[in-house]
Amino acid sequence: DTAVSQTPKYLVTQMGNDKSIKCEQNLGHDTMYWYKQDSKKFLKIMFSYNNKELIINETVPNRFSPKSPDKAHLNLHINSLELGDSAVYFCASSQEAGGQYEQYFGPGTRLTVT
Amino acid sequence: AQKITQTQPGMFVQEKEAVTLDCTYDTSDPSYGLFWYKQPSSGEMIFLIYQGSYDQQNATEGRYSLNFQKARKSANLVISASQLGDSAMYFCAMREGSNDYKLSFGAGTTVTVRA
């Protein structure tokens, strides 16, 4: 009964490859997010979708492209992977955007680019 | 400018004692929300407690309480009766405005509970 799930949990790949991370939430939430946690544990927002519409697009290389096929899914596709993309990527969801609604995080995907 | 500042990179606390984790924030928006999350070594992010800028009382959730001092722009987390399972990294985060959707996180504080 995982609320926010991500696949894969671990992803090891070589520079230049293209990879995707999938995220699904079964909470009925309207808003989903992608965060990146770097090696120093610093968390930063990348994207957010509200009802399948992109509402946040932080300064992220355009090699990163989110896709939301429906409210329950928000996938992250990364082209031409670079060493600096190695990090833990967290998907999250909240009942609504803004307000007092907490964000529920997925377990994270540890991406290692070699 | 850093929106959330957590000045304590690491702390040790004795089991059953209380510990206070500092968090200061910077915003000019009168409407904002403050959140605390826990990240154990297993890596998941666990929501602990929320405080809204207009809330009159300090938030509490079980052993967690938030010492909200609006004038000082601080939102310290207090964990009472520490348990070994409280050993983790703790993040303070802020959402500014009623229509801003993203959380801005602090650098985190690692808490180690000693038996």
In chain A, residues with a C-beta closer than 8 Å to the C-beta of B95 are: 98
Q: Which pLDDT score, from 0 to 100, does residue A99 have?
A: 65
- CA A51 → CA A89, B35, B107, distances in Å? 21, 23, 30
In tens, the pLDDT along A50-93 reads: 888 888 888 789 999 999 999 999 999 999 999 999 999 999 99
Residues of A with CB under 8 A from a CB of B: 31, 33, 40-45, 48, 50, 55-56, 58, 88, 90, 92, 94, 97-100, 102-108, 110
Interface contact A102-B39, CB threshold 8 A = no
Tell me: pLDDT of A105 over 70.
yes
